[in-house]
Structure 1
Amino acid sequence: PASAYRSIGADIDMFLEQSVIAVGNWCQAVLMNSCRRRRRLRKGLEDWGHLYQHAFNADFSDEFEAHARSAGWKYERQETEDGHPIQGPLATWVERETAGCMLQHLLLGFELDLYEP
């Protein structure tokens, strides 16, 4: 129930909202015929792109770090030598799912004979 949900932070709430949309769109896409699935996956890549930025923000929120530690994770934010942040677990998950959608889109093009031999 909604009453059992407690907010972890604004960045994480936004990430969760957007991830439900992206995953829901992917689920709808895989239920369509090949032509429509390919088109839906292409349009869904924009959702995954927006979700990446939300995930990156959530990864570097103090609330996420505190929640991860309270859940038993040994999560620490990391930075490059230049001081730029390295993506965390949420952004890594989004990047993996985005790559999967891109691969499905590409392979459907071969299945539909859209590419010249």
Structure 2
Amino acid sequence: MHSAVPSIFWYLKASVESILHIRFTLKNESSTVTLQQNEYDCGVHDFRNAEEICFHGKCKIINPYHAEAERARAREILRKLKDNEIEDEWVPHVEQATDFIHLNKPSENGVKL
């Protein structure tokens, strides 16, 4: 991240570590992450940066970046982690703007569709 670590980070870190049964070490290596290309997707973009670092040790610019599909993919990953559905195969990356958007989409009143 290119800014201060938010307080919620520590709770998220503990949650992810407990789900994955591993421990992460925090390092300040902001040169290995990319900035989002818009002004509204920092959370999803940070999620993708963390994923790239975990699997590849560095980040690359996600191009093209389909914001809604990336958010839907992040929701699907979190759902699969929560339901213990990820074993050997990870969730594929977004390739098209319509990928994952039909899954776990919240409605306007907060109820999943």
**Band the TM-score falls in, shorter-chain normalisation:** under 0.3
Richer in helix (by share): 1
Which structure would you say has the larger RCO, counting Cα contacts within 8 Å and 6 or more residues apart?
1
Larger Rg: 1
